[in-house]
Chains A and B, each alone.
Chain A
Amino acid sequence: MTPLDVAAGLPAAIVLRIGVIAVTLLASRRTHVARHVAFLGSAMASVVTFLMAAQVVRAGSPVHGMLLVHQASGFALTYTVDGLSAWFLVVLAVLAVPIALFSIGYIGHAHLGRRSVFIGVAFNVLLAALEIVFAADTVITFLFAWELVTLVTAALVATDHEIGANRRAAYLYLVMSHVGTGCLVAGFLTLAAASGSVSFSTILSGHVVAGPLRDGLFALFFLGFGVKAGVIPLHVWLPEAHPSAPTNISALMSGVLIKAGIYGMVRVCAFGLGVPRLSWGVFVVAVGGLSAVLGVLYALVQHDLKRLLAYHSIENIGIILLGLGAGMMALTYGHSDVASVGIAASLFHVLNHAVFKGLLFLGAGSVVTATGTRQIEQFGGLLRRMPWTGLFFLIGAMAISGLPPFNGFASEWLTFQAFLFGFRGSAEPPVLFLFPVAGALLALTAALAAACFVKAFGICFLALPRSTAAAEAHESPAVMLVPQAFLAALCVGFGLFPGRVLRVLAGVMAPLPGLQPQADMGRGAFEMASRSSGAGVMNSFDHVVPVVLVAALLGGLAVAAWVTRRAGAARRVPTWGCGGELTARTEYTATAFSKPLMMIFDAVYRPTRQVEALATVSPYFPEEVRYHSEIENTFERYVYGPLVRGIFRMADGMNVLQAGSLHAYLAYVIALVVSLVLFVWWRS
């Protein structure tokens, strides 16, 4: 493609989407046709943006353009796709294409079918808005697209609006998002007022504000973007909204939408406000560690498959922030090479999380479609009924658990490197010990995630079916399986060849201020920092070549096959049931599986349990035992509860002013005018 074509890529995709929306609406009588048009068209538009973004990444030079201009008012929506934008656009497209294909099959199913047109149109609008968010280069364009994303997502969360919980989830999402957007508006307006421009290239040049105002702006932006990213304690909307939305939308939300918050943090908090202060990086690492550990701990005790995955999104956002924070601290110290390791870890995990979480959500969509429930305790034995979905889900589970040779391992490995380099590069003892603590938290997170996914995969897909719905489940059609296969292949591919991805990332990061990715960052293997740089901080700690490990693993499998060569075909016998009959009711449940961890971390969960034995004859012969266990929603109860009550009390107090009396209102007006006159008189 010539550069001219590249610049036209984004408008072309947007125009394509508008056309697709129009045709979808025209064909709305025939939902079958509308569905295919909407999602196939969406996939095509995503391919166009992918090609454009890939070209930008490859060429290394940003492209500019204009989406819309109104001559009379001078209003214009302009965009710039630079390396960072292109990276997020690539992540978006890599996930959006398989999700669009999956949606054709998924939305056609049962009760969602009649909402095909709505979902198809909203899906396209959401993707277009996200593309503009990532490409926007003025405050106006950005906030316009940002708000559009929020509104469309809220509508999609409430797709099944007959269910009260979904309406509540959408409402909560809207409220939280608007608090975040409010912070962003305040932050951007402050920057715009200080610089006299609304262009990102000016206001995010890093020289606009100084002093304590910079800290205030960092806090505002972190709050604003943090709500969208779902960092703890701003996460409360996330575990409600993800399960309520149709699963294809959940996949998109978890894979890319929350990354819009990360995009903002990288662009503004890390690079847009000048060299970050040390306290910012420390804060980001602390919030990241908290989100990672609490996210996975809450995920462990969830028995709604989609809610479980939603909490894992919080965990992974935490891991992304750990890398980002380490990078920001290195930026403060001026260690450009170390900073590149941290930022690269963060951006790599953005891609990896999009891929494996998208895969897991699509797998969950297949399972939910086949069984009609989201409760893990109702599944079981699905691997026999749905062999392909099971295989892909297993690959996603291993990737998210950070196991080699899958992609999750590669980015978590890189995050560890950032900590090691950070430890060596910093001097002050309190900050110094942040790195090993963060490393230990990351290790804990990865191990807990592995425990959680042993549970999620094992209870859902293995052993005996726990309900008739699970026993009668059917494998999804190919249109739903092929996208999962594609994402599973990416999990393996990025895991086997992380060096390739890092080489691309080196190009993405090169223009960012204060970064200096090593020329050989992704050379062939995964060799980071193989030679010391001018700062003298970087000496190689380690390297990873996953392909070699795979060879060793295959060797190990060959040995295992060789030593068991005499075994022959296995005899199949029933599982021993301790003398009784083994049924699904005697199987270990998900609740039981996570019980030890729940008891060990009871300070976090504060569980309450009630056991009630119902007996008629004697208390020693209970006929029925009821067990109820619940964990406390710490943040809802102790943070948001008082906050909401405070707001209501304030609103009640203000009710006195708005009494409905015309005389009182006239008195207000007179009082205001008099005080203004007095004010002006006093000033002059």
Chain B
Amino acid sequence: MILALLQSAGLLAAAPLLRTVIKKMKARLQNRQGPPLLQGYSDLSKLLGKESVRSETASWVYVAGPRVYFAAIVAATTLVPVLMAAAPLEAAGGILLLVGTLALGRFALATAALDTGSPFGGMGASRDMTIAALAEPALMLGLFTSALAAGSMNLGVLVRGLLQQGPSLHPSDFLALAGLFIILIAETGRIPVDNPATHLELTMIHEAMVLEYAGPDLALVEWASALKELLYMTLLVDLFMPAGIAIHAAPGAILVALLAWAGKVFVLAIAVTLAESTNAKLRLFRVPELVSISLGLAFLALAIRFL
């Protein structure tokens, strides 16, 4: 219980930093200075301090959307092991519940986007749900592979199982990691699937969906989206490189785990940055091809592993 609170709070605190770090690295690759590292926090505190402005046509669903989205992702953080080889709320469920909880958040936000009557919201919601629907089977197949290899769908058990097996360099791991990395890109709205930095209506998906939000409502959406990105990265770290995670609650081990986790997430952040900087955004109707690559990789991983 305390652990769940601490973990959620810690991830919530770290999430804005991750986004800024990626922005900063991207800027550096483009020979720009980029924002200061604490920019994410300043943005959030500014948005939280603003007055709340909402559309006249919107109902309670519009108000509930960002809150349920935020709550779902915060709840999801308690299902994932971060520093300790056990998820704080392991008793609640495993990967399937995690995927379901994230889907709940997405459903809430997409529904709320239709509430203002602005065509942007509908467009964003439609595209977001489309991409999510395409990504879902690939995500599930990738998770299926990892779970079967480790013998459990429960992330805590899974991580402990992986630690016991020791570091494996099975080729299927690399394929599954590559497949899930594509899903990470698709689900967190990164180039080449979506562009988080633009407000040009033709290219945006997630940003179109939340275009009407302002002030504290927008802060919740932004914060939760950042948290979701950190959560997906942590999930990948847990599934493929759990080494370094603390098995006992000793202060030294936790410190090592913290450094290891931060380092591994940073590596993934570099990978995301490179993917963003070296690719152009895909047309919406090319995204299915990208996702089907992920599906194919996951299936290959499964085949290599179990044939």
Contact = CB atoms under 8 A, between A and B. Distances in A.
Interface of A: 381, 383-384, 394, 398, 401-404, 409, 413, 416, 420, 423-424, 429, 432-433, 436, 439-444, 446-448, 450-451, 453-455, 457-459, 461-464, 525, 539-546, 548-549, 552-557, 559-561, 563-564, 566-577, 582, 584, 586-589, 592-597, 599-600
Given A402-B100, A403-B100, A544-B97, 20 more contacts: A404-B100, A436-B144, A440-B138, A443-B136, A446-B103, A447-B129, A447-B134, A450-B106, A450-B107, A451-B126, A542-B96, A542-B154, A564-B217, A570-B53, A570-B54, A587-B118, A588-B114, A592-B123, A593-B122, A595-B126
Contacts of A413: 96-97, 100
Nearest to B295: A440
A552 B74 contact: yes
Contacts of B144: 420, 436, 439-440
A433 B127 contact: no
B48 A574 contact: no
Interface in B37-88: 48-49, 51-63, 66-68, 70-75, 78
A587 B123 CA distance: 10
Contacts of A546: 92-93
Nearest to A573: B53
B51 A439 contact: no
The DSSP consensus for interface residues of chain A is helix
A436 B298 CA distance: 10
Given A404-B101, A458-B111, A593-B126, A582 B118 contact: yes
Given A420-B144, A574-B56, A586-B119, A597 B70 contact: no
27 contacts: A401-B107, A402-B103, A404-B104, A436-B299, A443-B136, A444-B136, A447-B134, A453-B107, A454-B110, A458-B114, A462-B114, A539-B152, A545-B91, A548-B93, A549-B93, A552-B4, A555-B8, A557-B71, A559-B12, A560-B71, A563-B219, A566-B48, A570-B53, A589-B122, A597-B130, A600-B134, A600-B288
Nearest to A539: B151
Contact of A556 (B63, B70, B97, B116): B70
In this complex, the member of B99, B117, B140, B151 whose beta carbon has the largest number of chain A beta carbons within 10 angstroms is B117
B221 to A, nearest CB: 11
Given A423-B148, A542-B96, A450 B52 contact: no
Interface string B220-245: 10010000000000000000000000
A430 to B, nearest CB: 11
Contacts of B67: 557, 560-561
A557 B78 CA distance: 14
Contacts of A454: 107, 110-111, 114, 125, 129
B302 interface: yes
In this complex, the member of A416, A540, A596 whose beta carbon has the largest number of chain B beta carbons within 10 angstroms is A596
A60 B174 CA distance: 51
A241 B108 CA distance: 32
Contacts of A545: 91-93
The DSSP consensus for interface residues of chain B is helix
Contacts of A394: 61, 111
A266 to B, nearest CB: 25
Closest 7 CB pairs of A and B: A588-B122, A556-B71, A458-B114, A556-B74, A542-B153, A552-B75, A447-B136
B284 interface: yes
Contacts of B114: 454, 458-459, 462-463, 588
B7 to A, nearest CB: 11
B303 interface: yes
Contacts of B117: 463-464, 575, 582, 584, 586-587
B193 to A, nearest CB: 13
Nearest to A414: B96
B121 interface: yes
B54 A548 contact: no
Given A463-B114, A560-B71, A564-B48, A451 B219 contact: no
A269 B161 CA distance: 39
Given A544-B92, A545-B93, A556-B73, A568 B51 contact: yes
Interface of B: 4-5, 8, 12, 48-49, 51-63, 66-68, 70-75, 78, 89, 91-97, 99-101, 103-104, 106-107, 110-111, 113-119, 121-123, 125-127, 129-130, 132-141, 144-145, 147-148, 151-154, 212, 215-217, 219-220, 223, 284-285, 288, 295, 299, 302-303, 306-307
B214 to A, nearest CB: 9
Nearest to B220: A560
Contacts of B107: 398, 401, 403, 450, 453-454
B139 A575 contact: no
Contact of A436 (B59, B99, B288, B302): B302
A592 B123 CA distance: 8
Contacts of B118: 575-577, 582, 586-587
B136 A575 contact: no
Contacts of B63: 570
Contact of A541 (B92, B153, B212, B217): B153
Given A458-B114, A555-B74, A592-B126, A433 B302 contact: yes
A548 B76 CA distance: 12
A420 B148 contact: yes
A575 B57 contact: yes
A595 B56 CA distance: 28
Contacts of B8: 555-556, 559
In this complex, the member of B60, B66, B126 whose beta carbon has the largest number of chain A beta carbons within 10 angstroms is B126
A279 to B, nearest CB: 22
Given A543-B154, A567-B215, A552 B78 contact: yes
A548 B79 CA distance: 11
Contacts of B73: 556
B91 A548 contact: yes
A420 B306 CA distance: 13
B116 A463 contact: yes
Contacts of B140: 439-440, 442-443
Contacts of B299: 436
